[in-house]
Chains A and B, each alone.
Chain A
Amino acid sequence: MKEKTSIGIVLIFLSPALSAIFLFFILPLLSALFISFTDFDIYTLGDFRRLKFVGLENYIKIFEDDLFYKALYNTFYFVFIGGPLSIITSLLAALLLNSKFIKLKKFFRTVYFLPVVTTIVAVAIVWRYLYHPRFGVFNYILSLFGINAIDWLGDPKYAMPAIILLAIWKNFGYNMILFIAGLQNIPTELYEAAELDGASNWQKFKEITLPFLAPTTFFISIITMIGYFQLFAEPYVMTQGGPLNSTLSMVLYMYQEGFRWWNIGYSVSIAFILFIIILIITLIQFRYEKKIHY
């Protein structure tokens, strides 16, 4: 029974999904590449004779564009500060819920996970008011500890941290589940043996827990990074990229250039740069992972 299935049958099963992926993903991807070499813009939409092939001009323009650098910086800030903070929060929450001292584990797991499934637009709206400098709940909590009001979304210094805080709250439950599963896969005998040797908690964590969690952490860091690079709804709803463009992310900038000003060629080029950055960083992570394992 190991002979090949007839090609017709294979095609019938594969074609719905594959043609959808080809038509609505690969084809647009290729046309995006083409468009990024043109000056497709609002004038072109009115009259196609105004379209011009411009080679790499869009990409050159991007590297001269202050707003692009700003968006790049903000996105990196979000990914490389917010990402690790999210992952650490998830790990701590997982360790907590994995502890034998905790009662009602399932209940806490559900509560911590709740923000993950909620709608980011709705949640961002709620948080926008929680961050209100005068009436917001956060500043109220701070005031209980005698800390002065912070203008979370109005001060360029605090706006991105405020968005990171929201992202951590929204996402930590997801990775927490993965970490808990990773923790449960660690054989308890190892800990028992370490205890007999008189190892401290920290030593146990460093020598047993962390190495065993490495594959999980690797997977988590890749999906978290790819997800965080696509930051959009939070700044769109909460700050529109402000104040002083301190929360302008690459995707938001791409959206504004593309769907607000219809500089289509330029917008698509920004998207490609985002793609290339994600690709490079993922490759680096894969290389790094190999080093750890072998």
Chain B
Amino acid sequence: MKRKFIIKSVLLNLVAISIGVLTLVPFVWMISASLMKTGESAKFPPRFIPSEIDFSHYVFLFQNLDMARYFLNSLIVSILITFISLLFNSMAAYAFAKLKFGLKDNLFKFLLSLMIVPGQVTMLPLFLMLKEFGLINTYLGISIPGMASVFGIFLLRQFMLSIPDSLIDAARIDGASDFKIFFRIIIPLSRSILITLAIFTFIGAWNDFLWPLIIMTDSYMYTLPVALASLMGEHTQDIELMMAGSVITITPIVILFALVQKYYISGILIGSLKE
């Protein structure tokens, strides 16, 4: 019985390890290829360790291909979207969770039903509309579809529902306005869920591709994924260079995730709770 137990344990752990290895292989190869000399990664059998470490592709990306600019664009856009959407969504969520008004439930259901509409349907008209406002190639324009999200409102509302009404009522008796209640009670109490949503939004904005590809026609305004896809058109054969670009794009997000994965994973779980 005990031996069977050990064999099973070893076997299952081996399976877990091999899945882990398979999951990591693309990352390992990406990093090591980015450090190889030009042409070294296109050899058979493939190499996993550079014959000598070569940072020249990174240098080239920053010196000749404006990588710092794209990095900055990605950072600005992601922070901006995170900031605006957190403010907008939490305000709406508060209204849906704690304020009383007619049609509240119907309005909320209507919003939820919008989640099923694929964003691509609205992209062309939205593009033509933002063009009229002169928002093409602007940080504001790129942030617009992300400013308010039904998912975000839903997530925050679920959380705020769990804040006891008695707290709010007590504050009201003390003469606090709804703004005061919102900023002094609701926001501090929702800290953890706000952090979760912030991480979600930030990572989503950082990784987003289709909308930035459409709205940024000026290469000075490219975000990292758009710049990378555009580089791919010109430098397909420069594998090591493309890998270096991928490393630069992925690394910040992986670091962020490593730091805050607790919040991220709890967010997935809250988001999946049905009403």
Interface residues of A (CB under 8 A from B): 1-5, 7, 9-10, 12-14, 16-18, 20-21, 24-29, 31-32, 35, 93, 96-97, 99, 101-103, 108-115, 117-123, 125-127, 129-130, 132, 134-137, 140, 143, 169, 174, 177-178, 181, 215-216, 219, 226, 229-230, 232-233, 236-237, 251, 254-255, 258-259, 264, 267-268, 271-272, 274-275, 278-279, 282
Q: Report the bound CA distance from A236 to B257 in whole Å.
A: 26
Beyond A13-B182, A16-B92, 12 extra complex contacts between A and B, CB < 8 Å? A17-B89, A24-B122, A29-B117, A99-B12, A101-B9, A122-B250, A125-B228, A125-B245, A135-B42, A237-B232, A264-B128, A271-B118
Q: Report the bound CA distance from A105 to B265 in whole Å.
A: 14
Residues on B with beta carbons closer than 8 Å to the beta carbon of A181: 269, 272
Q: Report the bound CA distance from A254 to B119 in whole Å.
A: 12
Known: A32-B121, A110-B261. A125 touches B23 (CB 8 A): no
B95 contacts A102, C-beta separation under 8 Å: no
A118 contacts B29, C-beta separation under 8 Å: no
B95 contacts A268, C-beta separation under 8 Å: no
Chain B contact-residue range equals: 35 or more
Q: CB-nearest residue of chain A relative to B261?
A: A110
Residues on B with beta carbons closer than 8 Å to the beta carbon of A4: 100-102
Q: CB-nearest residue of chain A relative to B26?
A: A126
Known: A5-B101, A219-B272. A282 touches B232 (CB 8 A): no
B246 contacts A125, C-beta separation under 8 Å: yes
1/0 contact trace for B29-58 toward A, CB 8 Å?
110010000000111111000000000000
CB proximity of B144 to chain A, nearest CB, Å: 5
Interface residues of B (CB under 8 A from A): 8-9, 12-13, 15-16, 19-20, 22-27, 29-30, 33, 41-46, 87-89, 91-92, 94-95, 99-102, 111, 114, 116-126, 128-129, 144-145, 147-148, 150, 153, 165, 169, 172, 178, 182, 203, 206-207, 209-210, 214, 224-226, 228-229, 232, 239, 242-243, 245-246, 249-250, 253-254, 257-258, 261, 264-265, 268-269, 272, 274
Residues on B with beta carbons closer than 8 Å to the beta carbon of A35: 124-125
Q: Report the bound CA distance from A25 to B123 in whole Å.
A: 9
Q: Report the bound CA distance from A274 to B123 in whole Å.
A: 14
Q: Report the bound CA distance from A258 to B269 in whole Å.
A: 37
Residues on A with beta carbons closer than 8 Å to the beta carbon of B123: 28, 258, 271
Q: Report the bound CA distance from A274 to B46 in whole Å.
A: 41
CB proximity of B13 to chain A, nearest CB, Å: 6
B178 contacts A9, C-beta separation under 8 Å: yes
- In the assembled complex, 6 residue pairs joining A and B whose CB atoms fall closer than 8 Å, in A order, are A13-B91, A13-B94, A28-B129, A29-B117, A96-B19, A123-B26
Q: Report the bound CA distance from A96 to B249 in whole Å.
A: 31
B207 contacts A32, C-beta separation under 8 Å: no
B13 contacts A103, C-beta separation under 8 Å: yes
A101 contacts B232, C-beta separation under 8 Å: no
A115 contacts B23, C-beta separation under 8 Å: yes
B12 contacts A96, C-beta separation under 8 Å: yes
Q: Report the bound CA distance from A103 to B13 in whole Å.
A: 7
B118 contacts A275, C-beta separation under 8 Å: yes
CB proximity of B61 to chain A, nearest CB, Å: 13
Residues on B with beta carbons closer than 8 Å to the beta carbon of A110: 258, 261
B150 contacts A251, C-beta separation under 8 Å: no
Q: Which of B19, B210, B257 sits near A232, CB closer than 8 Å?
A: B210
B45 contacts A101, C-beta separation under 8 Å: no
Residue of B12, B145, B182, B226 with highest tally of chain A CB at under 10 A: B12
Residues on B with beta carbons closer than 8 Å to the beta carbon of A3: 100
Q: Report the bound CA distance from A278 to B239 in whole Å.
A: 37
A24 contacts B147, C-beta separation under 8 Å: yes
A123 contacts B121, C-beta separation under 8 Å: no
Q: CB-nearest residue of chain A relative to B199?
A: A117
Residues on A with beta carbons closer than 8 Å to the beta carbon of B88: 16-17, 20
Q: CB-nearest residue of chain A relative to B25?
A: A137
B30 contacts A126, C-beta separation under 8 Å: yes
